[in-house]
Structure 1
Amino acid sequence: MTYQRLDIRLPSPAPGVQLTVLAHQFGNRSNARSAYLHAGLHADEHPGLLVLQHLLEQLRQLDAAGAIDGLVTVVPYANPIGMSQRLFGAVVGRFDFENGENFNRNFPLLDKMVAAYLAKAPDPARSPNQWRSVFSKMLDEATAIGPSQALKLELAKLSMEHDIVLDLHCDTDCIAHVYASELQVERATLLANLLGAPVVMLEPRQAGGGAFDQVHSSAWGTVQAAGLLSERDSGFSATVELRGQADVSDELAAADASSLLRFLESEGVLTAEAARTQRSPGEPTFAFPLEGASHVPCPCAGVIVYRKAPGDQVSVGEVIAEVVRLDGDEFNQRVPILSTVDGVMIVRQLKRLVRPGERAALLAGKRPVRDGQAGSLLLDF
């Protein structure tokens, strides 16, 4: 058995309160490749929390069988701050109560530091192991004040020691989908296929936002774009959206855990067939540019009624939903919401009482949408 437990203490937010990030590790850091997975960075998103419990159970058995060739680190809940934020009983863990900041934004990005290193280094690092050390040293120089900043920095440091980094999320009511760098199409598509996710959203190098996965894609992508590492040799990071907030069950979680293990096997982290169950073949996976993501707003307040479901094909001008105005001049008065792209519906609202400007749906199209601007492609909601 190679298991060890890590307890990373964060600054105390108040007298008598101690926050800790828990991590479980299996395998050997000196061998083969390594992987890091966490869930619950948005603390109101819970499917990944159960998936990782099933994953840990399987990893323990694989460890006992000597089937973990590399290192696997699992952080079962990445945001103890957000998990403690409750408002009248409900977990409100997407934004920090302290300053309103999205917990999955403003992570430390390394692209500028890596570019500066390349500009002045007479003999830059060559191997993935050497590059990981360079990136880790850059993060070691960063400082953080307060629990939230410290949380983000500690997650960045711990995950940067690994080749594969997966951030498990979900949305309100949606199909499974994956966000990854446009430089990593092959691996992102394989991961999505294994998870039964029909959509991959490809992020340009300057997507903006500072999401957790961009800590890694900003660093590795700069090296890869400079021609110093191939796609396969570069580290890989992705945000995995595990369907909707209500999609929490042992059946889904066990299948997702097995799919993640199969992906780790394809990356050389595991030495034996890891999957207990085989997911039935689903629809093929299609890649869309993040510039083609359209966040369609609600035009008014009322009760929203959907004409399209996540996974459905949509066309420009097609009615995807209607908002029933409760204060309209006519009974059952409806305001249509139209598709802005030719593509697929990914996300819709789980709750049905909506307000003006609230996102009604996330649609994916092949062509850039008018409001998609470089550097601000990840909306902050």
Structure 2
Amino acid sequence: MTQFSKEVMHVGEMASGAALTVPVYRLKGQSDAPSVYIQANMHGAEVQGNAVIFQLLELLRNTQIKGDITLVPYANPVGCNHKNGEYTLGRFDPITGVNWNRMYHFDESIIKPFVRDSIGKDDKTIEANFKALMIDSIEQKLDHNIFGLTTGQRIAYQLQRLAHQADLVLDLHTGPISSKHLYCPEYAVESAKYFDIPHTLLIPNAFDGALDEATFCPWWKLEEAFAELGIKFSISSNTLNKESFTVELGSQEQIDLDVALEDAKSILSYLQYKGVIDTSAYQPKKMTRFACYLKDYKAFYSPMGGMVDYLAEFGKPLKAGEPLARILRMDNYHFEEKGDADPLHYVSLDHEVIPILHFASASVNQGTELYKVFTEFFILEE
């Protein structure tokens, strides 16, 4: 029988004094297999991850669990309640304007002193000490910051404290109107093949404030610092197994429980590969998987204002010159056969791309980000 627990974590307070809380579900593993942390809904409109966590809990009821699993839906109680009319905003802290997923913490200056103090110690001791150091650095931020924290930092740091206790971290997101894609650290590319996600973005060892970076960059930097001294310390070994991903589940402002079930099975395929669960029930689907490096993931901005008909199909290579979208400009319409300008303006690119997501609205200003696309992409697996 799986040992299950639920708690409510207090992450802040509203002006009225009402508590901001986050539910935390824990499943206790039966061995020292890798532990997992999964969260969803850091951005307010990105709700599909909550449905995926529900389906994961349902599937895990009847699964032998070897490693501890922690699941956190509704990770940002401010963002998911930030409504404007019929729309959920919740991408940016309305007070500071900062992206909710850019407030996590990593101080690279802790790495080299730690390495110097760890020479001669075995990998498991180094792992335990470094994990304790990262957790302590977060607790220092939470409990001993004399100038205080913003609302977003206080929420992010408490989530990050949970994430640092795990070996594998999955942060569930969605795009505006989007295909499924995966943000994957370059060293973990083999693991990308175990998710049922056809598009993988390979990201470098650079911290920009996101949760996946905040949890894999410290370990990656640690490995590099040991390597500079000629000492082998591999975070992708079976002994250590440190990986973090941002999992993009599709489009925002909607949930689909049937699709969420498939997404949950995809995650369990990865967890089975990593030895977190003991079952043969979940295997990755056969599909063509494309990848590109983060530097080659480009945004295309609208050359004019207007009403956009998004033409390009997600996930399939779009040849150079084929239309990405067409923009309707009724101010250019003339009843006469010939007018001064065409009311329909087709936009295309001069090189082949794979469209991944596009802006949520058909109404755009000049300079609005229309699409994000893979350029210089390659096949990861067929």
Give the C-alpha shift of residue 145 in structure 1. Answer: 1.6
Task: Report the AA paired with residue 356 of structure 1.
Answer: Q
Match of 2:372 among 362, 366, 370: 362
Tell me the residue number matched to 1:16.
17
Aligned mates of 1:337, 1:117 — CA distance in 2: 52
- CA distances 1:231-257 after superposition (whole Å, capped 9, x unpaired): 233410000111222663221111111
Tell me the residue number matched to 1:134.
133
Q: How much is the aligned-residue C-alpha RMSD, in angstroms?
A: 2.3
Secondary structure of 2:111's counterpart equals helix
Task: Report the AA paired with residue 71 of structure 1.
Answer: D
Give the C-alpha shift of residue 228 in structure 1. Answer: 1.3
Q: Does 1:322 align with 2:315?
A: no
- CA distances 1:70-129 after superposition (whole Å, capped 9, x unpaired): 100000111101112111242211111111111111310243322442245444662244
CA contact (8 A) 1:202 1:290 kept: yes
Task: Report the AA paired with residue 185 of structure 1.
Answer: V
Aligned mates of 1:112, 1:125 — CA distance in 2: 22
Tell me the residue number matched to 2:145.
none
Task: Report the AA paired with residue 361 of structure 1.
Answer: Y
Task: Report the AA paired with residue 248 of structure 1.
Answer: I
CA contact (8 A) 2:27 2:69 kept: yes
Tell me the residue number matched to 1:75.
72
Change (3 A) 1:224 1:186: farther
CA contact (8 A) 2:111 2:222 kept: yes
Structure 1 unaligned runs (5+)?
Answer: 368-381
Secondary structure of 1:327's counterpart equals helix
Tell me the residue number matched to 2:180.
176
Tell me the residue number matched to 1:264.
271
Secondary structure of 2:13's counterpart equals coil
Q: Does 1:156 align with 2:156?
A: no
Q: Which runs of 4+ in 1 moved over 3 A?
A: 119-125, 128-131, 278-281, 315-318, 329-332
Secondary structure of 1:312's counterpart equals coil
- Of 30-39 and 94-103, more deviation after overlay is shown by 30-39
CA contact (8 A) 1:324 1:335 kept: yes
Task: Report the AA paired with residue 327 of structure 2.
Answer: V
Percent pairwise identity: 26
CA contact (8 A) 1:182 1:204 kept: yes
Match of 1:298 among 297, 302, 315: 302
Aligned mates of 1:26, 1:110 — CA distance in 2: 31
Tell me the residue number matched to 1:378.
none
Give the C-alpha shift of residue 29 in structure 1. Answer: 8.3
CA contact (8 A) 1:174 1:310 kept: yes
Tell me the residue number matched to 1:345.
355
Change (3 A) 1:341 1:5: farther
Tell me the residue number matched to 2:190.
186
Aligned mates of 1:107, 1:251 — CA distance in 2: 32
Change (3 A) 1:320 1:115: farther
CA contact (8 A) 1:68 1:270 kept: yes
CA contact (8 A) 1:317 1:340 kept: yes
Task: Report the AA paired with residue 14 of structure 2.
Answer: P
CA contact (8 A) 1:341 1:363 kept: no
Aligned mates of 2:15, 2:30 — CA distance in 1: 36
Counterparts of residues 192-231 of structure 1 (less than 5 Å): 195=196, 197-206=197-206, 208-225=207-224, 226=227, 227-231=232-236
Tell me the residue number matched to 1:111.
108
Q: Does 1:248 align with 2:255?
A: yes
Secondary structure of 1:322's counterpart equals strand
What is the TM-score normalised by the length of structure 2? 0.86
Give the C-alpha shift of residue 219 in structure 1. Answer: 0.8
Tell me the residue number matched to 1:49.
50
Secondary structure of 1:99's counterpart equals coil
What is the TM-score normalised by the length of structure 1? 0.86
Aligned mates of 1:219, 1:124 — CA distance in 2: 18
Aligned mates of 2:95, 2:236 — CA distance in 1: 39
Pairs aligned (count): 355
CA contact (8 A) 2:194 2:284 kept: no
CA contact (8 A) 2:220 2:235 kept: no
Secondary structure of 1:98's counterpart equals coil
Aligned mates of 1:363, 1:92 — CA distance in 2: 24
Aligned mates of 2:121, 2:218 — CA distance in 1: 14
Task: Report the AA paired with residue 136 of structure 2.
Answer: K
Counterparts of residues 228-243 of structure 1 (less than 5 Å): 228-232=233-237, 233-243=240-250
Tell me the residue number matched to 1:285.
289
Aligned mates of 1:189, 1:343 — CA distance in 2: 21
Give the C-alpha shift of residue 51 in structure 1. Answer: 1.0
Structure 2 unaligned runs (5+)?
Answer: 143-147, 336-341, 378-382
Q: Does 1:94 align with 2:99?
A: no
Give the C-alpha shift of residue 130 in structure 1. Answer: 4.1
Give the C-alpha shift of residue 337 in structure 1. Answer: 2.3
Secondary structure of 1:167's counterpart equals strand
Task: Report the AA paired with residue 210 of structure 1.
Answer: G
Aligned mates of 2:249, 2:328 — CA distance in 1: 30
